[in-house]
Amino acid sequence: MNKQELLKDYRKQEDKICLSQVLDKIEFSKTREKIEHTDFLDMYQISLVENFLRKIKFENYKFYGAYEESERKILIIYPEKYNESMLEKNYSKMLKVVRVSLPEEEKGKYTHRNYLGGIVKLGLKREKVGDILVSDDGADIVVVEDFAEILKQELPNLTRFEKTDITIEEIKNIRKKEIKLELIKIIVPSLRLDNIVSDLAKTSRNKAAQIINQERVFVNGQNETKLSKQIKLKDIITIRGKGRFIVKEFAGTTRSGRTVVVIEKYV
């Protein structure tokens, strides 16, 4: 089946472009008998690509973002002869860490938005950058290997980073962000996705429906646009721009029949 036939069911041009690039990587890997990888994919693209690869029954792939909980990942396509250990030996050829170490007077001043905003302001390609792990001392920025030197040289052009120490580190030395969870409770009329998103995003149900329809909501890593989807215990819900949440417990019902849901929020 040719590329046009495989992509005929996809209406969005950006989806077709993304999947077309994936098909190219598959073809290159087959003909060259070597590992190929994409730039970074966001959560929507990961869901799109994963469903597509299942649809065409292609199995020699892996999503990788430097650490297990990463949100942005590259897609690795590999020949059948490769196993997991062989892939791991190649990670350092695919990704690097650009480490920003702040001077004493700047420590604790910058958030994820400051780092990402700086990269965008410099006009650098977002798809070359993965997760940005921020600490008081600075940040570890995951990038594709061929972009590391560019970012290292460009960041000091921003006033906020002109006094920072910027180095390129191996991906195995990434400083993982400590996971912190905040326990919250919400009370919803039912376990429909739009009800849950409304409370988690602290907005109206109509606005929650818009957020879902804008393909900004993911359940267990899969993009979800069905408003009436029933949420279950231990589901992981990600709302782009609002955060990531785990359904921890159903803690009973109120007198009016509404459900009390205990949520763990990543902070």
pLDDT in tens, the chain (267 residues): 688 899 999 999 999 999 999 999 999 999 999 999 999 999 999 999 999 999 999 999 999 999 988 999 999 999 998 988 899 999 999 999 999 999 999 999 999 999 999 999 999 999 999 999 999 999 999 999 999 999 999 999 999 999 999 999 999 999 987 778 999 999 999 999 999 999 999 999 999 999 999 999 999 989 999 999 999 999 999 999 899 999 999 999 999 999 999 999 988
Instruction: Give the span between the Cα atoms of 26 and 44, in whole angstroms.
Output: 20
- Looking at the structure, tell me whether residues 12 and 77 fall in a common domain: yes
Q: Of 89, 115, 145, which residue is a domain's last? A: 89
Number of independent structural domains in the chain: 3
Q: Nearest 10 degrees: CA dihedral of 208, 246, 143, 44? A: -40
- Looking at the structure, tell me whether residues 43 and 102 fall in a common domain: no
Instruction: Give the span between the Cα atoms of 184 and 246, in whole angstroms.
Output: 10
- Looking at the structure, tell me whether residues 119 and 81 fall in a common domain: no
- Looking at the structure, tell me whether residues 73 and 24 fall in a common domain: yes
Q: Of 173, 205, 236, which residue is a domain's last? A: 173
Distance of CA 219 to the CA centre of its chain: 13
> What's the domain range around 218?
181-266
CATH number of residue 186's parent domain: 3.10.290.10
- Helix 205-213 × helix 193-200 angle, to 10°: 110
Q: Of 173, 197, 216, which residue is a domain's last? A: 173
